[in-house]
């Protein structure tokens, strides 16, 4: 067994319009890279973080990668030391699951390095714990798709149960990240604490309809189900030209849905086929560009593999 391993964990689109806090999917890129190395000593040490503009703590008890890896080591009673080098290759505060990708990269790397004592699904709770301790809330809607790939549903939090849903064979994703920052905390503060029963029933009906559509590969139903009347109207205010971009994306041929990625400001579109998503992505990006707002556009299939070993 090698003494060192390099891994990649993908960015994710959480909420996915109709599944606030519980639905998400993984994309092929961007994502975080992480090198884990056996050392003398004990526990996890973060030796370097690149690409973080100095924003992340190298204290392994405060960084999602360090926390999830450490929790894992405790669980399997590993007494040796692990050195982690983290290469942040994706934007912070973007709504693309940056902290989740680090958490998944950390625990995935250590599990692989130590000969895979646990299976992939068993790693989930360590990554969730990383999110909980580092970010204050143990959301699984980013870590689940980053770890398991594909489209995931957090069926329940107590106990934590995550389902892998079918991925339509030709589904592509565009993620557009405008160069504005939205803190997850600010975005959460905008959420209503309560919703009407009627709104709650609508939300559940759309989510359940979307799940059904994934099993039957009914693209029309997916589109009719990818609706968010609770969170999107609040958070749209944080995102420049949101409704213009939404309308343009949904008018582009082959587009299945559109929405805010996680807590934003990134937006995403789903489409049937590479050509359709490339066109939709271009249209979305064009709206920001002509206003002089710089943005990054990521085009990808739905990533069904989750994290992977790079070396």
Active-site residue list: 131, 184
Using CB under 8 A, pick the residue from 10, 130, 145, 209 that binds a copy of itself: 209
Using CB under 8 A, pick the residue from 194, 290, 292, 311 that binds a copy of itself: 194
The DSSP H or E segment spanning 110 is helix 98-113
CA 140 – CA 147 distance, rounded (Å) = 10
Least Å distance between CB 223 and a copy of itself? 12
Q: How far apart are the first and last CA of the chain?
A: 13
CA 240 – CA 225 distance, rounded (Å) = 25
* Contact stretch for a copy of itself (CB under 8 A) within 130-138, 156-164, 268-276, 282-290: 156-164
Q: Report if residue 200 touches a copy of itself, rule: CB under 8 A.
A: yes
Least Å distance between CB 271 and a copy of itself? 21
Q: Which is nearer to a copy of itself, 169 or 292 (CB)?
A: 169
> Which one, of 298, 302, 278, lies nearest residue 170 by Cα?
302
Q: Cβ neighbours of residue 209 under 8 Å, at least 6 residues apart?
A: 18, 221, 224, 225
CA 191 – CA 211 distance, rounded (Å) = 24
Least Å distance between CB 40 and a copy of itself? 45
Q: Report if residue 262 touches a copy of itself, rule: CB under 8 A.
A: no
Residues numbered 19 to 38 that lie near a copy of itself (CB under 8 A) are 19-23
CA angle 198, 199, 203 (to 5 degrees): 120
For residue 236, give the DSSP letter. G
- Contact string (CB under 8 A) for a copy of itself, positions 218-247, x = contact: ---x--xx----x-----------------
Using CB under 8 A, pick the residue from 153, 167, 271, 283 that binds a copy of itself: 153
DSSP three-state, residue 249: helix
Q: Report if residue 173 touches a copy of itself, rule: CB under 8 A.
A: no
CA angle 180, 303, 233 (to 5 degrees): 40
* Contact stretch for a copy of itself (CB under 8 A) within 102-110, 119-127, 188-196, 303-311: 188-196
Least Å distance between CB 151 and a copy of itself? 11
Instruction: Record the tokens describing residue 60, joined without a space.
Output: 């392994």
Residues numbered 271 to 310 that lie near a copy of itself (CB under 8 A) are none
Q: Report if residue 208 touches a copy of itself, rule: CB under 8 A.
A: yes
Q: Report if residue 248 touches a copy of itself, rule: CB under 8 A.
A: no
Residue 166 is labelled as binding a ligand: no
* CA 100 to each of CA 51, 117, 171, 293, 298: distance values in angstroms, whole numbers, following the listed order: 16, 21, 23, 27, 18
- Contacts with a copy of itself by CB under 8 A lie at 19-23, 153-157, 161, 163, 165, 191-197, 199-212, 215, 221, 224-225, 230
């Amino acid at each position: 067994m090698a003494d060192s391993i390099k891994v990649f964990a993908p960015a994710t689109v959480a909420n996915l319009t109709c599944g606030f806090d519980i639905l998400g999917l993984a994309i092929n890129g961007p994502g975080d890279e992480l090198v884990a190395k056996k050392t003398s000593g004990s526990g996890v040490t973060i030796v370097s973080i690149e690409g973080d503009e100095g924003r992340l703590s190298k204290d392994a008890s405060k960084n999602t990668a360090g926390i999830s890896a450490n929790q894992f080591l405790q669980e399997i009673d590993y007494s040796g030391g692990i050195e982690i080098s983290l290469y942040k290759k994706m934007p912070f505060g973007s709504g693309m699951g940056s902290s989740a990708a680090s958490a998944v990269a950390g625990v995935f790397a250590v599990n692989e390095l130590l000969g895979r004592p646990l299976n992939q699904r068993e790693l989930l709770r360590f990554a969730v714990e990383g999110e909980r301790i580092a970010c204050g809330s143990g959301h699984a809607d980013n870590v689940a798709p980053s770890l398991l790939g594909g489209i995931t549903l957090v069926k329940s939090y107590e106990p934590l149960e995550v389902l892998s849903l079918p991925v339509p064979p030709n589904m592509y994703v565009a993620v557009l990240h405008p160069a504005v920052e939205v803190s997850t905390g600010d975005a959460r503060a905008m959420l209503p604490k309560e919703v009407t029963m009627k709104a709650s029933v609508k939300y559940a009906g759309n989510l359940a309809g979307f799940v059904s559509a994934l099993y039957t590969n009914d693209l029309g139903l997916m589109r009719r189900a990818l609706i968010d009347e609770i969170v999107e109207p609040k958070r749209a205010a944080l995102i420049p030209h949101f409704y213009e971009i939404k309308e343009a994306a949904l008018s582009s041929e082959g587009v299945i849905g559109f929405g805010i990625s996680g807590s934003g400001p990134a937006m995403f579109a789903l489409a049937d086929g590479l050509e359709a998503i490339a066109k939709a992505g271009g249209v979305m990006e064009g709206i920001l560009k002509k206003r002089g707002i710089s943005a990054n556009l990521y085009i990808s299939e739905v990533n069904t593999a989750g994290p992977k070993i790079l070396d």
